[in-house]
């Protein structure tokens, strides 16, 4: 969060209190989300066929993913977000056994592909989300989830809601690395949703793969990301005391209603190439490369040391006179043998 707070150039991409005064692609997206959530309210079957069993299974998997491995950790979440409903007269040991069965490991006789479904069905028999909460709507009544979200996105809603973009222009990649390590692509704070706008290009490229993994086609991955943060915001408004981890589980359940687990995979892809080098880092890298190439060039063209001995024959070596002068080497005079040609007399 400190990295986002130090961003020198954040941009307000959308402001619901001045919805008519802000134009652009992101403002259009936010207005489009209002229309789509209103459509979910009116015709949920046009989005996805969804049963209570689907809802419990989706939340159950989110619980396993984020609540820790200990049963007590999961029970703590369930107590905060819902209510257990045991048979009247149940003893504490019996209640404990029923809860543990919801998270029991698969037996050799069970098909691993249906273990999660079986366990989430057991959970639905002893627990339910608190009535009329956003989690209750996501699990059992998506149309009501659409109503809550469309009301929150309604341009006539006087409650503040801003979309803030962090392009991190000219910020060094080394300073951004903590964000990449944590894979924080967006978060909500108060009435603000903060995002890294650059992710939209990656998510758009991934939208073509949505049909192969299931999900709601009329909602894009980038819109799903924004709705995830909006659900967290609404959950916090419902219950300000909810820990961020709990609101994340609720939002992840709605995210998976829309796109299964495709969004998380696409975000992983984005962080393979982000952060990029800033202009200053690019210039530094260029200077360093240039310096290295010049040093290599100097080494290549440097004069070689004069060897201690010559490769000439020993006979050609000249002694040094006592006065320190090198005598001039005399040229050898080669005498040519003259051969006279004598003409033979004719017989």
Tens digit of each residue's pLDDT (9 = 90 or more) over 100-111 = 999 999 998 899
Average pLDDT over residues 268-294: 84
The bridge status of strand 192-195 relative to strand 186-189 is: antiparallel
Residue 142 Cα distances to 135, 147, 257, 263, angstroms: 10, 9, 9, 19
**Residue 97 confidence (pLDDT) above 50:** yes
pLDDT tier for residue 346 given thresholds of 50, 70 and 90: very low
Mean pLDDT of the chain: 87
Average pLDDT over residues 269-294: 84
Average pLDDT over residues 35-49: 95
CA dihedral 64, 65, 66, 71 (to 10 degrees): 20
Q: What is the pLDDT of residue 300?
A: 81
pLDDT tier for residue 324 given thresholds of 50, 70 and 90: low
Q: Which residue in the block uniquely carries the two structure tokens 């396993």? A: 64
**Residue 45 confidence (pLDDT) above 50:** yes
Q: Are residues 159 and 54 in contact, defined by beta-carbon separation less than 8 angstroms?
A: no
User: Residue 219: is it exposed, middle or buried by C-beta count within 10 angstroms (0-12/13-18/19+)?
Assistant: buried
**Residue 325 confidence (pLDDT) above 60:** no
Taking only Cα atoms into account, the Rg of the chain, rounded to an integer number of angstroms, comes to 39
Residue 30 Cα distances to 35, 194, 227, 230, 237, angstroms: 9, 13, 10, 11, 19
Q: What percent of the chain has pLDDT over 90?
A: 69
pLDDT tier for residue 339 given thresholds of 50, 70 and 90: very low
Least confident of 14-23, 177-186, 303-312: 303-312
Distance in angstroms (rounded) separating the CA atoms of residues 288 and 286: 5
Least confident of 12-26, 183-197, 234-248: 12-26
**Residue 289 confidence (pLDDT) above 50:** yes
pTM for this model (two decimals) = 0.82
pLDDT tier for residue 278 given thresholds of 50, 70 and 90: confident
């Amino acid at each position: 969060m400190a990295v986002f707070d130090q961003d020198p150039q954040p941009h307000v991409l959308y402001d619901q209190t001045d919805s008519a005064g802000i134009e652009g692609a992101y403002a259009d997206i936010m207005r489009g989300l209002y229309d789509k959530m209103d459509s979910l309210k009116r015709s949920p079957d046009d989005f996805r066929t969804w049963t209570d069993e689907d809802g419990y299974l989706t939340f159950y998997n989110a619980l396993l993913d984020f609540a820790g491995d200990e049963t007590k950790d999961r029970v703590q979440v369930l107590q905060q977000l819902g209510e257990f409903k045991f048979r009247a007269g149940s003893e504490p040991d019996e209640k404990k056994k029923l809860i543990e069965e919801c998270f029991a490991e698969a037996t050799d006789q069970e098909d691993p592909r249906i273990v999660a479904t079986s366990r989430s069905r057991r959970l639905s028999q002893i627990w339910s989300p608190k009535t009329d909460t956003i989690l209750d709507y996501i699990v059992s009544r998506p149309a009501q989830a659409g109503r809550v979200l469309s009301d929150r996105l309604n341009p006539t809603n006087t409650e503040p809601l801003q979309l803030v973009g962090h392009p991190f222009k000219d910020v060094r990649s080394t300073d951004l690395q903590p964000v990449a390590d944590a894979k924080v692509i967006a978060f909500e704070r108060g009435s603000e949703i903060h995002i890294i706008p650059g992710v939209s290009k990656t998510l758009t490229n991934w939208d073509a793969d949505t049909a192969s993994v299931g999900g709601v086609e009329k909602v894009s991955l980038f819109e799903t990301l924004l709705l995830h943060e909006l659900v967290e915001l609404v959950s916090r408004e419902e219950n300000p005391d909810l820990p961020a981890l709990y609101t994340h589980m609720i939002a992840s359940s709605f995210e998976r209603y829309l796109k299964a687990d495709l969004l998380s995979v696409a975000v992983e892809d984005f962080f393979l190439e982000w952060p990029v080098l800033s202009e200053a880092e690019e210039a530094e890298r260029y200077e360093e490369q240039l310096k290295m190439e010049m040093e290599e060039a100097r080494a290549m063209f440097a004069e070689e040391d004069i060897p201690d001995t010559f490769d000439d024959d020993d006979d050609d070596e000249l002694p040094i006179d006592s006065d320190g002068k090198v005598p001039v080497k005399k040229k050898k005079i080669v005498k040519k043998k003259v051969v006279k040609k004598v003409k033979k007399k004719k017989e």
